[in-house]
Chain A
Amino acid sequence: MYKPTIGLEIHVQLMTKTKIFCSCSTEFASEPNTHVCPVCIGLPGALPVLNEKAVKYGVKLGIALNAYINKFSSFYRKNYFYPDLPKGYQITQYIIPIAKGGYLEVGGSGAQKKKIRIERAHIEEDSGKSIHAGNITESEFSFIDFNRSGIPLMEIVTLPDIETPDEAYDFLILLRSIIRYIGVSTGDMEKGAMRCDVNISVSKDETMGTKVEIKNLNSFRSVKRALEYEIERQVSALKKGERIVQETRHFDEKEDTTKPMRTKEELNDYRYFPEPDLPPLVLSDEFIENIKNTIPELPNTKEERYIKEFEISSDYARTIAYNPKLAEYFENIVKYVGIKRAKAVANFIMLDISAYLNETKKEIDKIDFTKEKFKELLDLIDNKTISRNTAKEVINESLRTGKTPSEIVSKKGRTQITDETSIKEFVIDVLKENDAQVNQYLSGKTKVMAYLTGQVMKKSKGKANPEIINKVLYNELENLKK
């Protein structure tokens, strides 16, 4: 049995207002090369000045990754030539990163969780963006947009603790969730705010297999698919007695496969040396402590709490807990309607509200289904004014129109019929019209009762309380027996 060993290298764009070494805006600009200055396009004589906010965000992320924050770290130059690297070197951290030795726990819940260790996390600058006309190898010319040049990045390197594509996926969605909770990045992989390269090898025994690096992974799905493909490829190659070549491969999104990168520039000597333009980065205990105090409850803790305190399913708990806005909404509602109704709240959020959000592409914080409305809805159900089925319609209508649940219910005459005499009238009518089914019942086929209930419901235009229908219907049928 071959076992995969997987490590991740993740770049996270830090959401500072200005770039890491100059005061250019980091905002997305549709016009290329509009957020540039002598520093971030590498004009002769320009010098970097470290953005304190980028350091704060780096420390914050480091703490959230359970890492040790180095009070003394330093910057190095990583030298290589590429057109989108304006200075001919990237300013990065090398020997002493800002954070080292963290971990995240992924998968199941409680003791089933698996610890993925983080080797280090450091801050550095992003490069510009090369835009090729068509295919990179055939393109006649390329454009470079330096708006991205100098956007602060945090590079996170895991130890090779990951054993399955699912674990890699779980790690990444947890990481994204954490990033969003602490507000250091949008974490959008599709938009390049979070980028991931993977290292993977497979082996039958304790020895390490040959490592292959995969690049161009632009979504969580790509990471998973690329790993699945690569494991299959490596295992079948080894089974055929072939050797795995140590190389960098490119993930082909369309074909769901990985392919060797054609460029032979792999043997790069980056000639790292200390960046003489920047003094060492020295952080005080107070600086670190202040940042620590700004870190909110993180998704893992939230997830556990939801399961324990609210008794909601672990699936729902995770989905809500991993999404900061959803979690905030959820907790806000629960606080107002009471813990005992948390499960019902979770159900409405996960089913009805989620469907509405998906359909309308809205964010949870953009909807108007307030805690007061939520409480009204739950009250209507609890005092049996409306059924759960009706409640679905009510919440949907409320989401769309902004009307309160009671408004909707009273206006449309949706109030449930609980009055036994009124229901009895429907029941008698139905029994008259369905002789065949009544006879079947009388001959012992009691299953037919469900059909008759449905008929009564239909007659009442869905308003009759199902429990009372059942009760009345049963009584009437039993009476006929006599």
Chain B
Amino acid sequence: MEITELTVKEIVEKIKKKEIGVKETVLAYLKNIEDKDNNIKAFLSINNEEALIKAEELDKENEKNGQIFGIPVAIKDNINVYGTETTAGSKILKGYISPYDATVVKKIKEQNGIVIGKTNCDEFAMGSSTENSAFFNTKNPINTYYVPGGSSGGSAASVAANETAAAFGSDTGGSIREPAGFCGIVGLKPTYGRVSRYGLIAFGSSLDVIGPLAKNVEDAAILTNVIAGFDRKDETTANLPVENYTDFLKRGVKGKKLGVIKEINDFKIQDEVSITLKEAINKLEVQGCEIEEVSIPHLKYALPTYYLIAPSEASSNLSRFDGVRYGLEGIGDNLRDFYEDTRTKGFGREVKRRILIGTFALSEGYFDEYYLKASKVRRLIAMDFEKVFEKVDALILPTTATTAFKFNEKKNPLEMYMSDIFTMPMNLAGIPAISIPFGKDNKGLPIGIQIAGKWFEEGEIFQISYALEQLKES
């Protein structure tokens, strides 16, 4: 078996047993990138020199310490990596070299992971297909006529194409889970506050979470171990102990109570997705899982709520891109013209749309009607989940209503927004959710099944999704 087909766990074991070298591993992935990425285009920048230097250093170490020792990881381009270009997929940050590491990157480096490159994404993580990247489209490695999903499309594609052993992305409304589902890999959105956002270029600050994209559940658990935990630099992280997530994997699902949300039937779901979900449920039931129908009455308001909260926060978060200190610098005879020119040239259509929506929703006279109302509904949605979790341990639902779509297929922004209908409620509530590949549709496109759990109980969803993964027909 090629190194690049191995899991994170397998590679670390082989390196620690000195069966393979770190440099050998990194070279194998760089070779894959060289061979495939002209076509897939998952990466915005490749960190080959730095990665090889680090690999050589690690090869010289006698003590092979670190949970991801020698593992090449790809980082979504909206996460700061010291000394590398960090653009968040936007022209406004083209050429911006980050002077610091995000906390997750620091933790990855502490565990001796190797940043192999920065991956493409929708501009400022706004999108569900990576088509909103200011630079180029990323293709779905399963079928290159299809989008990889988004916004962490580059991260998902790089893992699916074996261009990296693992990747990290960010999830504001589904941006890890949807591309993981489309590309047939595993993606976790941790609980809000479980992973530091320090160094993640903010989109919707109260929704954004960094999480792993991996080949399987076990790898996702290992990668979550690396990045989870309280961070003094992010006041929204929870000061709670972090469990070792790999301990949960093999505990089985006997006696676990799984909820199936009644209201998802109000949405149009692709037949094969529905069938696959039923199949997954049946198989879990056979393993001793108890299945119960539950209700999230406010589910239908998730989309409008999300599209007020996220753009409102984004409109403010993106104000710092004004051309004064860094990034693209426009021209103008006065301050106003300068700002206008910078931001007109620097931002793409979708970003501008969301800034406009957000600015409007926060405006005097509209704040109560839009932002405030949405915040209240958000609370109701969270309470729906709270109530449901009194009865069940976790929820099972599709990651997306359909499998991957083709480039330029979703021309209407609302249609694109609908791609995240089953993922954004978890961001609004702040709960963790994982997407794992389970079956394919008749075009051979992967179907993602989502397991959502209680706040800070990532262990539980690793346990259930691991069991489900074992039931997959290969």
Contact = CB atoms under 8 A, between A and B. Distances in A.
B316 interface: yes
B145 interface: no
A41 B99 CA distance: 12
Interface string B310-321: 001101101111
A86 B320 contact: yes
A298 B235 CA distance: 36
A338 to B, nearest CB: 55
Contact of B235 (A47, A87, A88): A47
A134 interface: no
A271 B362 contact: yes
A88 B364 contact: no
B316 A271 contact: yes
Interface string B299-335: 0000000000000110110111110111000000001
B452 interface: no
A43, A45, A79: residue with the most chain B Cβ atoms closer than 10 Å = A45
A298 to B, nearest CB: 34
Interface residues of B, number: 45
B322 A77 contact: no
A81 interface: yes
A48 interface: yes
Interface string A258-299: 000000000001011100111100000000000000000000
A46 B198 contact: yes
Contacts of A183: none
Interface string A52-86: 00000000000000000000000001010101001
Given A38-B100, A44-B88, A87 B234 contact: no
Contacts of A237: none
Contact of B363 (A41, A83, A271): A271
A44 B100 CA distance: 10
Interface in A164-189: none
B235 A279 contact: yes
B80 A42 contact: no
Contacts of A45: 78-80, 86, 98, 102, 197-202
B93 interface: yes
Contacts of B321: 44
A47 B313 contact: no
Given A38-B99, A271-B359, A81 B235 contact: no
B345 to A, nearest CB: 16
Contacts of B371: 273
Contacts of B200: 45
A42 B325 CA distance: 9
B364 A269 contact: yes
A144 interface: yes
A49 interface: yes
Nearest to B324: A83
Contacts of A47: 197-198, 233-235
Given A44-B320, A45-B200, A83-B335, A279 B100 contact: no
Contact of A89 (B201, B316, B335): B316
Contacts of A44: 80, 86, 88, 93, 96, 98, 201-202, 320-321
A282 to B, nearest CB: 12
A77 B316 contact: yes
B206 interface: yes
A50 interface: yes
A42 B326 CA distance: 10
Nearest to A42: B320
Given A273-B312, A277-B205, A278-B235, A144 B324 contact: yes
B362 A273 contact: yes
Contacts of A144: 324
Scoring B93, B98, B99, B324 by chain A CB atoms within 10 A of each residue's CB, the highest score goes to B324
Contacts of B362: 79, 271-273
Contacts of B102: 45
Interface residues of A, number: 28
Contact of B100 (A43, A50, A79, A278): A43
B236 interface: yes
A400 B352 CA distance: 70
Contact of A79 (B98, B202, B319): B319
Most buried by B among A44, A83, A272, A279: A44
A276 B205 contact: yes
A43 B99 contact: yes
Q: Tell me if A's interface is mostly helix, strand, loop or mixed.
A: loop
A278 B198 CA distance: 13
A273 B316 contact: yes
B233 A49 contact: yes
Contacts of A278: 235-236
Interface string A326-366: 00000000000000000000000000000000000000000
A81 B322 CA distance: 8
B339 interface: yes
B235 A50 contact: yes
B232 interface: yes
Interface string A116-157: 000000000000000000000000000010000000000000
A73 B399 CA distance: 38
Given A46-B198, A269-B364, A276 B319 contact: no
Contacts of A88: 316, 318-320, 322
A226 to B, nearest CB: 27
B407 interface: no
Given A43-B326, A45-B200, A87-B319, A269 B235 contact: no
B248 interface: no
A423 B331 CA distance: 91
Interface string A71-109: 000000101010100111100000000000000000000
A48 B320 contact: no
Interface string B180-212: 000000000000000001111110111000000
Contacts of A48: 235
Contacts of B86: 44-45
Contacts of B201: 44-45
B135 interface: no
B87 to A, nearest CB: 9
Contacts of A38: 99-100
Interface in B48-97: 78-80, 86, 88, 93, 96
A248 B326 CA distance: 32
A81 B339 contact: yes
A49 B320 contact: no
B319 A81 contact: yes
B455 interface: no
B367 interface: yes
Contact of A83 (B199, B204, B313, B322): B322
30 contacts: A38-B99, A42-B320, A42-B325, A44-B88, A44-B98, A44-B320, A45-B102, A45-B199, A45-B200, A45-B201, A48-B235, A49-B234, A49-B235, A79-B315, A79-B319, A83-B322, A83-B324, A83-B335, A86-B325, A89-B316, A269-B363, A271-B316, A273-B367, A273-B371, A276-B204, A276-B206, A277-B205, A277-B235, A278-B236, A279-B236
Interface of B: 78-80, 86, 88, 93, 96, 98-100, 102, 197-202, 204-206, 232-236, 312-313, 315-316, 318-322, 324-326, 335, 339, 359, 362-364, 367, 371
Given A44-B88, A269-B364, A277-B234, 20 more contacts: A43-B98, A43-B326, A44-B80, A44-B201, A45-B78, A45-B79, A45-B201, A45-B202, A47-B197, A47-B233, A81-B319, A81-B322, A83-B322, A83-B324, A89-B319, A272-B367, A273-B312, A273-B367, A276-B204, A279-B235
7 smallest CB-CB distances across A and B, nearest first, come from: A88-B319, A271-B362, A276-B205, A276-B206, A44-B201, A45-B199, A42-B320
